[in-house]
Amino acid sequence: MNVSYLWLKSLAPDIQGTAEEIAHRLALLGAPVDELTHLGAGIGDVVIARVEEVWQHPNADRLRVTRVNAGDETVQVVCGAPNVEAGRFYPFAPVGATLPGGMQIGKAKLRGEVSQGMLCSARELGLGRDHSGLMTLNGEYSPGTRFVDALGLDDWRLLIDVTPNRGELLSHVGVARELAPGGAAGVELPAFPNAPRARLDTRSGASEDEVAGVRVRIEDEAGCPRYMGAVVRGVRVGPSPEWLATRLRAVGLRPINNIVDATNYVLFELGQPLHAFDLAKLRGARCASAARATARRSPPWTAPAARSSPATW
């Protein structure tokens, strides 16, 4: 189980001790920490930069040349990533910087074009395995800001060895409850700022029920005695806010979009598995008809939580 030290502290601020001391306490409680990783290690030289301009490399089909605003200076950088865009923010390693693994960044000439630094992917920063493109940062930043400070990466990741009889530790809330001086009373879920209040129309049935044109049937009541689902409308698929993306990177996950990231966030915070489905793509004529009827208003989604209630909507 990957656990973020800062995530634990946000749930239970009274938890005392450094990450190393917490790892020692968990070992004494029967949950040894197999690995302790400082997320900010090796990337202290990295800053946030804004790409001001992008053009095709004149001598290489797969390379592009960019003009990068790194705060104190604007430099030219050759980039091979397919997702580099003008106006977006990315982590940038300037000339002289050292990256995880000891890689040192120097001034270079690539196919005849000068490159002064490197725009980075998550894998190059040791923050994930994704090397398909640059690590795109959502939101507004001041170019030249230290990457570690802006994203709250002065954090530690604890890899906890959870045995089969300690399933309550498969979440940040469960681990925080174990460590907080007041136990469960010392854990409080933080409120989401400016979160709208949701109006819920609920129904519950036996092994089968229907609402909003969507029918849920439990075929194995012994294996799944409880299932909950919700039809959520008015959702726009897009990038997650950076605080949420940072939380997921801290536990080794790659942010995908706001829908997928929200389900992963709930899983790691509460230990509750969630799955999100596109309502328009669920099987069944009645379901598809209901989805088409609302498609012009907003992209409809269902977000059922596995093993929750027989059919609550």
Residue-range domain boundaries for the chain: 2-38+155-186, 47-150, 208-302
Asked whether the domain spanning 208-302 has the same topology as the one spanning 2-38+155-186, the reply is: no
User: Nearest-CA neighbor of 47 among 79, 91, 87, 77?
Assistant: 91
Instruction: Name the CATH architecture for the domain at 208-302.
Output: 3-Layer(bba) Sandwich (3.50)
Q: How many CA atoms lie within 13 A of 87 on its CB side?
A: 0
pLDDT tens profile 214-272: 888 888 988 988 888 888 888 899 989 888 988 998 998 888 999 999 999 999 999 99
pLDDT of residue 284: 61
CA 207 to CA 218: how far, in whole Å? 5
Q: What is the pTM of this model?
A: 0.76
How many CB atoms neighbour CB 198 within 10 A?
7
CATH of domain 47-150: 2.40.50.140
Task: Evaluate whether 273 touches 307 at the Cβ level (below 8 Å).
Answer: yes
Give the fold, CATH level 3, of 2-38+155-186: Phenylalanyl-tRNA Synthetase; Chain B, domain 1 (3.30.56)
Residue 169: predicted pLDDT: 96
120 pLDDT exceeds 90? Answer: yes
